[in-house]
Structure 1
């Protein structure tokens, strides 16, 4: 418990913002003023919300929740302007005194199992980085091994370098996670530096639609929603999800969740609240060391 009481994801967010400022010009996003002072229901939990934009980045935002001694949360993301087809930087970490649940990735804008050219463009050179933290053959040597079952419908939003893991409270593991977070974010910033602006209007529209689909999925199915509701109440949590965490879900496109994912439609027209509806579950990493998908559907 002593280790947990001294642990905070604030240093992760601080590093990322400082590193971003070295590479680009950050200016406050309009959502920052509205959400920078979130009051918890218990009067004890600490909430820090910051959001920015930059020349190639539509939204860079950070949310940390410190509910010592019960939980620590980091939700950090960087979403590109639609003029760029850059991946979306995504860090979702949830830690209690017993368990940490982690997703760290450069989420692809397009399904890499289908868009091979997109995978080649952004992930081929990053595979050594992913393999560094998710070694393949000898499980005991894996720094951050595959966490548990995940279905193919969720997998389409992940890249071959995704870190999806669970581990018990450990300073060693959190040090590894901090190292991975720093390297992954630096890798994303490098991609941002090198990104060339798209001039084809149809490609820009495709990027916009792809990001909107991603935001629509996350805004509806993100597993952190119950935590937010418990900490700040249902109404404010809904606003934080749609206007801060996944800002753009109501402005980048007109399609609804059921337009994108009709398999979730109930007979009465409402959305089925189940996390996953279809697809094979993968208990081990479904990509090989070269980023080739090896978890084919039966």
Structure 2
């Protein structure tokens, strides 16, 4: 099997497109507490590059982290978080590539669990189902995903993993462009919430999402290996999932008590429910059908 030549592509093209497209629809302002940052990994073989902006009144944070170098790995972590006055989904693109394996997560992450909240699902995803169908076969379901993670995904999520010999850079770039344009349309159409209760509810939902990601995101071990535990924690809480320390005061165990160990610490397991989904758990109409093994 031929290995992927990582010098033949770069995720910077994705980042450039996204920020240029966002600038057409919003006034991007450098995020107050973030500076564009380039730094090398501990062994100097990998470069990490960050960018972040906000765009009042709708975008609380739009940010990217790219990782590239001569160690056979490239990473893109790109996200857009709405202001709490809007219940917009969170745009999420997590791409990981090595010479032998590529892992892709691309979604408009819902603020509310769409397996339960059908009104929210219809509001944001009903019109986007054809877009998802366009890419589901090109970027097929990547295998087991836990019930815990699934609650933060939508019916149009692209979760895929494939060998380097199957890598399709053009397909992935096209999917990224179309999903991001779709999010920007939703953003333009979004109406500001005036109910204090609903704004508080949106804020809590986003904080819950950030708290989960800051604690359980599968990319954390990679960051720790590259830059050390202290800088990794700083990147997670202050950059990648900014707001986990300011949008709310609840802890991880407040939101997810099922992870509480007898000594009061957080269970390090990715899943405590023990249920996972081997194939796409939504039908073509976006209805949740399940199919987990347990």
Please give the range of the TM-score, normalised by the shorter of the 2 chains.
Answer: over 0.9
The structural deviation recorded for 1:172 is: 5.4
1:163 and 2:158 correspond: yes
Q: CA 1:287/1:2 → structure 2, altered by over 3 Å: closer, same or farther? A: closer
Question: Gaps (5+ residues) in structure 1?
Answer: 135-141
Partner of 1:66: 68
The structural deviation recorded for 1:281 is: 1.1
RMSD: 1.4
Give the distance between the partners of 2:81 and 2:129, measured in 1 at CA: 21
1:264 and 2:251 correspond: no
Partner SS, residue 123 of structure 1: helix
1:210 and 2:205 correspond: yes
Within the candidate set 16, 19, 32, 1:17 is matched to: 19
1:229 and 2:224 correspond: yes
- Work out the number of aligned pairs and report it: 290
Within the candidate set 238, 243, 248, 1:243 is matched to: 238
The structural deviation recorded for 1:37 is: 3.3
The structural deviation recorded for 1:151 is: 1.6
The structural deviation recorded for 1:45 is: 1.1
Question: Gaps (5+ residues) in structure 2?
Answer: none
Decide whether the 8 Å contact of 1:150 with 1:283 is kept in 2.
Answer: yes
Decide whether the 8 Å contact of 1:152 with 1:280 is kept in 2.
Answer: yes
Partner SS, residue 111 of structure 1: coil
Which deviates further from its counterpart, 83-92 or 24-33?
24-33
Give the distance between the partners of 1:287 and 1:280, measured in 2 at CA: 16
TM-score, scaled relative to structure 2? 0.95
The structural deviation recorded for 1:43 is: 1.9
Partner SS, residue 159 of structure 1: coil
Decide whether the 8 Å contact of 2:258 with 2:272 is kept in 1.
Answer: yes
Give the distance between the partners of 1:260 and 1:171, measured in 2 at CA: 39
1:114 and 2:116 correspond: yes
Give the distance between the partners of 2:4 and 2:208, measured in 1 at CA: 42
Decide whether the 8 Å contact of 1:153 with 1:279 is kept in 2.
Answer: no
Partner of 1:187: 182
Q: CA 1:198/1:15 → structure 2, altered by over 3 Å: closer, same or farther? A: same
